[in-house]
Structure 1
Amino acid sequence: MLSIQALREQRAAKAKAINDHATKKDWNPAVDQPVWDAMMAEHDALSAQIKNIETSLALTAELIQNETVAGRAEQLAHDRNSPGLAMFAKWLRGGVSALTIEECTTIRNTLSTSTGSQGGFTVQTSVAKQLLDALKAFGGMRAVAEVFQTEQGNDISFPTSDGTSEVGELIGQNTTATGLDPTFAALTLSVYKYSSKVVAVPFELIQDSQIDVEAFVRSRLVTRLGRITNTHFTVGTGTGQPNGVITAAGVGVTAGAGTSQVTAITYGSLIDLVHSVDPAYRALNNCRFMMHDQSVKVIRKIVDGQQRPIFAPGYETGNPGGAPDRLLGYPIQVNQDVAQMAANAKSIAFGDFSFYKIRDVMDVTLFRFDDSAYAKLGQVGFLAWMRSGGNFIDVGGSVKLFVNAAT
């Protein structure tokens, strides 16, 4: 059986061959399309093998970790007659749904007890930059937006002025020039407080477990923060939460009714979408497509006017994870928070996403609670906080959207 590295090298070589074949001169659909289809099938088979191995390794590691922690918790719960450990073991194996109403109430009451009369919290804090690094790879938005940090969380105002419709004038001699003052506005970039939600761990498990329970919990907290922030940076409403890029961007192309684009898109609409973004933005060489992975599957079936496939798999060897797939020469950024193709869905975005600004206030902070309500029950609490915000700081239309047909 080939190693996963050997499979990745084979896939990279196959992807390069596909790109070379698709860009050959004198494309003959009757001859070249079947060859392209066969090579894509081989490429997909290699990708499937790689994904299966990666998934198997990840699931095995998580299963071993979960079972080791849960098994140790159950053993300690039995040996020490600890209801808290028993509940923690049940939560690890089945989540909140595995707990009874009484157990959920007990946990909720425990985690909400923070009154001064009970001693307050003696909190040890650590600034964990590795959490922020993990978030950069989560979801898609942090990979393409401009991300920066500030020490304070007060609102930042970005002055704007749209002069794209302003033109000069041609006048005759001794004629007074017409007045036209530019107009100004401002876009605000606020930050919001995000919580990973608390995880309470019995301290017997931390002391006696053979694995790093704290690292296990920290990984869960990272995932929780990554999921909610990417959702808000993508489709946030802008009211009490970040303004998502899909919410803020203008529509470039709306498919007409009866055009079979309710759950699909045509080659012509893709061309129209690219050209709905002003050439000045396209000249920055930073434009790309953003869509759900299911939309990528639809895109792969589209051909141009010469019946040549317009989708090209990434193949750069040495690029961690491989180069991004490309569409019409532009990279594709997969973002699972973008809507899948459906009636009236804003399913594809195109443009320069660096005009979306993500602002982090300092670093993600991991809190460990060792006293007060937790100590009374023999527990240690873990909680990650972050303050972050995002907004589309652009008035010229650097990103435009494709909207599927209504019917």
Structure 2
Amino acid sequence: MSIQALRERLNALNKKMKNQLAEKGSATWSKEDQKIFDDDSDEAERVQSQIAAHQRLLDKEAEENFRNAPKKTDKPQDAAKEGFELFLRKSDRQMSQEEALKVHNTMSTTTGTEGGYTVQPIVASQLIDLLKAYGFMRRTSSQITTTSGADLSYPTSDGTSEIGEWVAQNTSATDLDVTFGTRALNVFKAGSKVVVVPIELLQDSQIDVVALVMGRLRDRIGRLANAGYTVGTGTGQPMGLVTAASVGKTGAAGQTTTVIYDDLVDLVDSLDAAYLDVPATTPEMPGVQPGWMFSQAVRKTLRKIKDTAGRPIWTPSYDGGIGGKARTPDELLGYPVNINNDMPAPAANAKSIAFGNLNKYLIRDAMDVTIFRFDDSAYMKKGQVGFLAWARTGGNLMDTNAVKVYQNSAT
């Protein structure tokens, strides 16, 4: 079955389950009702796994064979992109004096060892912009960009315990100083490993080599960074969301790989009510709704959990089309679900579920980006050129009260 047909089937299953939820309303579900929903949920899980397998295969083939390499458009290039493209296509000895000057003006003023350039902000920003749209954590987190990678202590303030006062007539108001703290928001060097490109692609003037190479660098650094933002230790890598968040609920003995309905309710209630519904203040400051984050392995279990009336607590969404693109998220207990496969799988002591204001995790990108070009004999004898990027990024949970995690039992 094609990936398009699979997406159509998944869309139909999710629509059927959602309609069943709507039709039953608040009525108690019979065992037959539950079986129908569970059977559809099982098939939806299988179809999603097939879609993921198909997509991994397509991605692997595309990466290995450079299928669907982006083509250049007829739009005029700016000087920065032209200089960067020359750097990608040609070695120093192949450039004319004029071309070398364009590269010099776009990249750094000096060439490092092995052809490395600490790129100028206009080039670094292209990679950072690509990274900003990549990865599960970046979809839910807040993000900032700094001009350098210097260590940074970010100011924080928790106002959930602050309260006003009733003031009698002609009575002075009481002072209440706001307490500020700081959270480390340092950046760490992430490497792409060497991206090897056939020389024929670099020689093909119709191929957009800038988009091709930047896309590969984004994918590799993005995958690494997402794992760091999720479970990083904070030593030599970002402080991960799961690492920084406190435990809101621990499973009872025997729940080393499972979670029950009561655990999810307790996890939601472990969050201060102030974080459960943050209203919009202005159009520029929209309201914040908390959400869930866990892996596909956890989703498979949660889809079958029922409330005390036997009703599923999972509300599936479905695509507006068959392309697998923009869609509203599934919901669990009325809150949106984010699937992040870098979240820990269920296991003894694993923090496998996160819930809360996920945008309180702050990702920082630095403009310190270095790109290397390798065209020595090790690559040229294979008809290839190598590219390597180092980017600096980090992250931390700015408010540890805003996100809580469910921890599986130790035994």
Same fold (TM over 0.5): yes
Map 1:388-407 → 2, pairs under 5 A: 388-395=393-400, 397-407=401-411
Q: Aligned pair in 2 of structure 1 residues 178, 19: CA closer, same or farther (>3 Å)?
A: same
Given that 1:132 and 1:363 are in contact with CA atoms closer than 8 Å, whether structure 2 keeps it comes out as no
User: Could you say which residue in structure 1 is the equivalent of 2:296?
Assistant: 293
1:246 equivalenced with 2:242 (yes/no): yes
User: Could you say which residue in structure 1 is the equivalent of 2:267?
Assistant: 273
User: Could you say which residue in structure 1 is the equivalent of 2:364?
Assistant: 359
SS at match of 2:234: coil
TM superposition shift of 1:390 = 0.8
Given that 1:355 and 1:398 are in contact with CA atoms closer than 8 Å, whether structure 2 keeps it comes out as yes
For the residues of structure 2 that align with 1:148 and 1:119, how far apart are their CA atoms? 30
SS at match of 1:388: strand
Q: Which amino acid aligns with 1:286?
A: Q
Q: Aligned pair in 2 of structure 1 residues 165, 338: CA closer, same or farther (>3 Å)?
A: same
For the residues of structure 2 that align with 1:168 and 1:216, how far apart are their CA atoms? 56
User: Could you say which residue in structure 2 is the equivalent of 1:368?
Assistant: 373
5+ unaligned residues in a row in structure 2: which ranges? Answer: 68-109, 279-287
Question: CA offsets per residue over residues 302-358 of structure 1, 9 Å max, x none?
Answer: 111111121222214157253322211212212222211111111111011111111
Map 1:155-194 → 2, pairs under 5 A: 155-166=151-162, 182-194=178-190
Identity, % of aligned pairs?
49
1:328 equivalenced with 2:333 (yes/no): yes
Question: CA offsets per residue over residues 59-114 of structure 1, 9 Å max, x none?
Answer: 44445449xxxxxxxxxxxxxxxxxxxxxxxxxxxxxxxxxxxxxxxxxxxxxxxx
Q: Aligned pair in 2 of structure 1 residues 60, 184: CA closer, same or farther (>3 Å)?
A: closer
For the residues of structure 2 that align with 1:61 and 1:267, how far apart are their CA atoms? 42
Q: Aligned pair in 2 of structure 1 residues 120, 179: CA closer, same or farther (>3 Å)?
A: closer
For the residues of structure 2 that align with 1:383 and 1:55, how far apart are their CA atoms? 23
User: Could you say which residue in structure 2 is the equivalent of 1:221?
Assistant: 217
User: Could you say which residue in structure 2 is the equivalent of 1:16?
Assistant: 15
For the residues of structure 2 that align with 1:251 and 1:297, how far apart are their CA atoms? 22
TM superposition shift of 1:370 = 5.7
For the residues of structure 1 that align with 2:258 and 2:225, how far apart are their CA atoms? 28
Given that 2:117 and 2:370 are in contact with CA atoms closer than 8 Å, whether structure 1 keeps it comes out as no
For the residues of structure 2 that align with 1:19 and 1:316, how far apart are their CA atoms? 12
Given that 1:127 and 1:363 are in contact with CA atoms closer than 8 Å, whether structure 2 keeps it comes out as no
For the residues of structure 2 that align with 1:289 and 1:122, how far apart are their CA atoms? 41
1:348 equivalenced with 2:348 (yes/no): no
Q: Which deviates further from its counterpart, 295-304 or 190-199?
A: 190-199
Given that 1:127 and 1:365 are in contact with CA atoms closer than 8 Å, whether structure 2 keeps it comes out as no
Question: CA offsets per residue over residues 106-131 of structure 1, 9 Å max, x none?
Answer: xxxxxxxxxx9x98747596827664
5+ unaligned residues in a row in structure 1: which ranges? Answer: 67-115
Q: Which amino acid aligns with 1:307?
A: G
1:317 equivalenced with 2:320 (yes/no): yes
TM superposition shift of 1:167 = 5.5
TM superposition shift of 1:17 = 2.2
SS at match of 2:11: helix
Question: CA offsets per residue over residues 272-316 of structure 1, 9 Å max, x none?
Answer: 101111121110342111112211112122111111121222214
User: Could you say which residue in structure 2 is the equivalent of 1:85?
Assistant: none
SS at match of 1:197: coil
Q: Which amino acid aligns with 1:154?
A: A
Given that 1:253 and 1:276 are in contact with CA atoms closer than 8 Å, whether structure 2 keeps it comes out as yes
User: Could you say which residue in structure 2 is the equivalent of 1:79?
Assistant: none
SS at match of 1:19: helix
For the residues of structure 2 that align with 1:392 and 1:213, how far apart are their CA atoms? 37
TM superposition shift of 1:38 = 3.5
TM superposition shift of 1:218 = 5.2
Q: Aligned pair in 2 of structure 1 residues 182, 380: CA closer, same or farther (>3 Å)?
A: same
TM superposition shift of 1:13 = 3.4
TM superposition shift of 1:14 = 2.8
Superposed CA RMSD in Å reads 4.2
For the residues of structure 1 that align with 2:57 and 2:385, how far apart are their CA atoms? 32
User: Could you say which residue in structure 1 is the equivalent of 2:39?
Assistant: 38
TM superposition shift of 1:162 = 3.4
Q: Which amino acid aligns with 1:191?
A: V
Q: Which deviates further from its counterpart, 24-33 or 301-310?
A: 24-33
For the residues of structure 2 that align with 1:337 and 1:196, how far apart are their CA atoms? 18
